[in-house]
Amino acid sequence: MQNTVVVRYPDGRLLKGTTHDFLPNKNTFHVTEKDTGQRIPVDLSGLKAVFFVKTYDGSREYREKIDGQRVGMGRKIQVKFKDGETLVGYTQGYTPNRPSFFVFPADPNTNNERILVITAATESVQFL
């Protein structure tokens, strides 16, 4: 299955493309870069997060709603990254000792479908 992704590194770098071999229980996957077509290996341990997106650009004008209720998505959670970004959504699989976990946005109309958060890139995680 092809996924459209934006890979974010802790230093602010982005990698936009598609992946065919992403599995959350594997440490590496490949991204085919959207502009060059180059197939780039990605190691999860060096990332901030992997955003599974509807489009590469989204909408800068759109203001994501964090108070939405999404039935069946798990517990509501707030993630604060070490770079200052905050993410609010729902998770079914967060435990502090796991290397990563998925967050589903609180707002179903946002550009993000789901986000794989790398636990080492977080400053704090709390249930709301």
Q: What is the pLDDT of residues 13-50, one digit of tens each?
A: 999 999 999 998 899 999 999 999 999 999 999 999 99
- Print the domain residue range for 44: 3-57+64-127
Q: What is the pLDDT of residues 90-111, one digit of tens each?
A: 999 899 999 999 999 988 888 9
Total domains, the chain: 1
Concatenated DSSP letters of 13-47: -EEEEEESS--TTSSEEEEEETTT--EEEEEGGG-
Residue 116 bridge partners (DSSP):
50, 102
